[in-house]
Amino acid sequence: MFQERVKVLWNTLECSGYYRIGMQSNPGYSRAKPGQFVMVRFPDEVTPLLRRPFSIHRLILHQGRTAGIELLYKVVGTGTEKLSLSRKGDGLDLLGPLGTHFKIPENTRRVFIVAGGIGVAPMFFLSATLEKAGVDLTESRIFIGGRSRDDLLCMNDFISVGMRTVHLTTEDGSAGLRDLVTTPLERAVAERAPDRIYACGPLPMIRAVAKIARRYRAPCQVSIESLMACGLGACLGCAVEGADPGKYLHACIDGPVFEADRLNL
Ligand SMILES: Cc1cc2nc3c(=O)[nH]c(=O)nc-3n(C[C@H](O)[C@H](O)[C@H](O)COP(=O)(O)OP(=O)(O)OC[C@H]3O[C@@H](n4cnc5c(N)ncnc54)[C@H](O)[C@@H]3O)c2cc1C
Ligand code: FES
């Protein structure tokens, strides 16, 4: 884990309300894994006081070495609004990489990835890593859901790493199927269950995905984006209920990625 002052390399508008920010980072991020996150703060500023957590969207490579990381983020409040105003050369305080990551057991050949809204952020890093681990992306599928067409991100990025089947859903029907992302997921799992399901998105979606995985006995890992204050296991701000009644886990150090059956979903 590194705590460092880093420089912004770029901060570009992806589409309405969503940005990509590239920043320099310690070369040790070459060991970062998909699903891990960083905590970002504005140096020497009081507002917002607390660091904000973001998944690593992509490692930035320069001459074959890790030179930085890219985050994909949605503006929802004070911290992300302020982040959207950062310019090339500005300084940020970066802490990471933190937390658990998506596991790719040996002999994993065919997977389904489910992303709801900004839950797509860690999934590009995951797809690129799956491809290197020998997973057949042409046989795998990604299911991307959002409220409307502006919430469907990164489709072409997934295709560029070899993913052939991309299912799109929106709640308002402005793109893809007018439905919840779990509808085409369940249809596809019922047809032929994958070796593993990976999911990241809002809690109701995570619950529905976990239920489908249980029903069809497909191993499933989920990333939980709960509120976080310290990101280090010190404040108890990120408690999630474990599968054992009354047992709570920290999303920041026991997660954010969990085997779905470890949680009370
Ligand atoms: C492990 C992890 C990884 C994350 N990865 C990403 C990412 O890659 N890209 C991204 O855009 N966001 C990500 N998030 C969510 C992101 O941290 C929050 O959106 C951000 O902290 C909001 O800060 P803010 O100051 O703009 O909003 P605030 O002013 O703090 O809050 C604005 C509103 O957003 C809600 N909110 C704040 N945090 C969350 C959250 N975690 N989940 C749901 N609602 C929230 C608040 O309740 C409030 O209603 C991640 C969260 C976690 C825990
Ligand atoms: S965010 Fe402080 S304990 Fe997890």
Token representation of residue 160:
């560029």
The closest ligand to the CA of 225 turns out to be 1
Token representation of residue 185:
């997921």
Going by alpha carbons, the residue nearest to atom 3 of ligand 2 is 233
* 177: helix, strand or coil: strand
As a dihedral over the C-alpha atoms of residue 143, residue 149, residue 150, residue 151, rounded to 10 degrees, the angle is -30
Nearest-atom number in ligand 2 for the CA of 227 is 1
Which residue of 225, 250, 254 sits with most ligand 2 atoms within 8 Å of its CB, as the best mutation to test the pocket?
Answer: 250
CA distances from 182 to 140, 151, 206, 222, 234 (A): 16, 16, 9, 14, 35
Give the relative orientation of helices 182-191 and 203-215 as an angle to the nearest 10 degrees: 10
Question: How distant is the alpha carbon of residue 83 from its chain centre?
Answer: 18
Which residue of 54, 228, 249, 254 sits with most ligand 2 atoms within 8 Å of its CB, as the best mutation to test the pocket?
Answer: 228
Q: For residue 86, give the amino acid letter.
A: S
Residue 256 in contact with ligand 2 by CB distance below 6 A: no
Question: How distant is the alpha carbon of residue 229 from its chain centre?
Answer: 18
Cis peptide leading into 48, omega within 30 of 0? yes
Residue 225 in contact with ligand 1 by CB distance below 6 A: yes
Residue 154 in contact with ligand 2 by CB distance below 6 A: no
Residue-level pLDDT, tens digit, the chain, 265 residues? 999 999 999 999 999 999 999 999 999 999 999 999 999 999 977 777 789 999 999 999 999 899 999 999 999 999 999 999 999 999 999 999 999 999 999 999 999 999 999 999 999 999 999 999 999 999 999 999 999 999 999 999 999 999 999 999 999 999 999 999 999 999 999 999 999 999 999 999 999 999 999 999 999 999 998 889 999 999 988 999 999 988 999 999 999 999 999 999 9
Domains detected in the chain: 2-98 (2.40.30.10), 111-262 (3.40.50.80)
Which residue of 230, 240, 248 sits with most ligand 2 atoms within 8 Å of its CB, as the best mutation to test the pocket?
Answer: 230
Give the contacts of 159 (CB within 8 A, at least 6 positions apart). 166
Which helix (H) or strand (E) segment holds residue 98: the answer is strand 91-98
Q: For residue 95, give the amino acid letter.
A: L
Rg over CA atoms, the chain? 18
Which residues are registered as beta bridge partners of 93?
5, 41
Residue 39 in contact with ligand 2 by CB distance below 6 A: no
Residue 79 in contact with ligand 1 by CB distance below 6 A: yes
CA distances from 70 to 9, 211, 241 (A): 9, 32, 31
